[in-house]
């Protein structure tokens, strides 16, 4: 039922160990890996599944918004958190608020490259989540290629992607930043120092390419903002805010 009786139609996703279904829910799959040389070709004898229920929380980005704007543009921003701590949920609401406009700035064009169909949760080309009226979506496309396609085709002011990490992702992000388009991205991690230790991300951190770092997971609480830092590592959230939240 998950694959609509056709694992072949979901071959690329199964190779990565999951299938994304309608409304952005993700079904993780484990079994015996089928190898092609040193690469995973598929998974067979699937015996273990893990269901992750996706849901949008409108308004969860409102307290973050004042920290990500610079006059009429959005700062290049990366959200850092361990898996399952709400970074995709926060990213989704940031996209909606920036696209629709908010009490701080009017709306602007946003491009979402939704490789795993978890941000907008498109079904037959229609987003099932509210990602804003000025948002264009490229669904189920590899991030690096999709970001360049979005930049060339749709003239976005902001491009949003989830869970960056490959060399190709970083190269595409660097190119987009140099073209004057802002980036909203997420990455697995615990701190700025954590992602600085990763070879593919170290360059962007050291070059201060990201102007805002949003850290989730205060006191190991899902969805809580631990702190926000600028490109130099200066804390931007007041301690009174942290105590209250």
Q: Residue 240's pLDDT is what? A: 44
Spatial CA neighbour of 128 closest among 54, 62, 17? 54
Could you read off the pLDDT of 101-156 as tens digits, one per residue? 999 999 999 999 999 888 998 877 889 899 999 999 999 899 999 999 999 999 99
Spans of the chain below 50 pLDDT = 5, 8, 239-240, 242-243
Q: What pLDDT, on the 0 to 100 scale, is given for residue 178?
A: 95
The predicted pLDDT at position 227 comes to 92
The confidence score (pLDDT) of residue 25 equals 77
Distance between CA 162 and CA 94 in Å, rounded?
12
Task: Decide the pairing of beta strands 158-161 and 126-127.
Answer: unpaired
pLDDT at 7: 56
- What are the structural domains, with CATH classification, of the chain? 7-52 (no CATH), 65-244 (3.40.50.300)
The pLDDT, as a whole number, for residue 4 is 54
pLDDT score at 146: 97
pLDDT reported for residue 21:
75
């Amino acid at each position: 039922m998950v694959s609509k009786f056709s694992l072949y139609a979901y071959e690329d996703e199964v190779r990565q160990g999951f299938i994304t279904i309608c409304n952005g829910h993700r079904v993780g799959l484990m079994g015996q890996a089928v190898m092609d040389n040193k690469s995973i070709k598929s998974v067979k004898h699937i015996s273990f599944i893990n269901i992750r229920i996706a849901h949008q929380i409108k308004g969860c980005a409102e307290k973050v918004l004042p920290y990500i704007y610079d006059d009429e543009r959005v700062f290049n921003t990366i959200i850092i958190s361990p898996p399952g701590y709400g970074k995709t949920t926060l990213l989704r609401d940031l996209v909606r608020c920036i696209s629709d406009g908010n009490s701080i700035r009017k709306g602007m064009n946003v491009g979402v490259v939704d490789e795993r169909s978890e941000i907008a949760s498109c079904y037959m080309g229609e987003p099932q989540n509210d990602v804003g009226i000025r948002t264009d979506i490229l669904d189920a496309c590899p991030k690096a290629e999709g970001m360049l396609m979005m930049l060339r085709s749709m003239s976005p002011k902001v491009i949003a992607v989830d869970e960056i990490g490959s060399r190709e992702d970083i190269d595409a992000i660097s190119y987009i930043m140099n073209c004057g388009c802002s980036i909203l991205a997420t990455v697995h991690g615990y701190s700025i120092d954590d992602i600085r230790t990763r070879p593919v991300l170290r360059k962007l951190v050291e070059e201060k390419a990201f102007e805002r770092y949003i850290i989730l997971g205060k006191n190991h609480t899902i969805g809580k903002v631990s702190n926000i830092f600028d490109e130099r590592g200066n804390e931007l959230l007041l301690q009174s805010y942290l105590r209250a939240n």
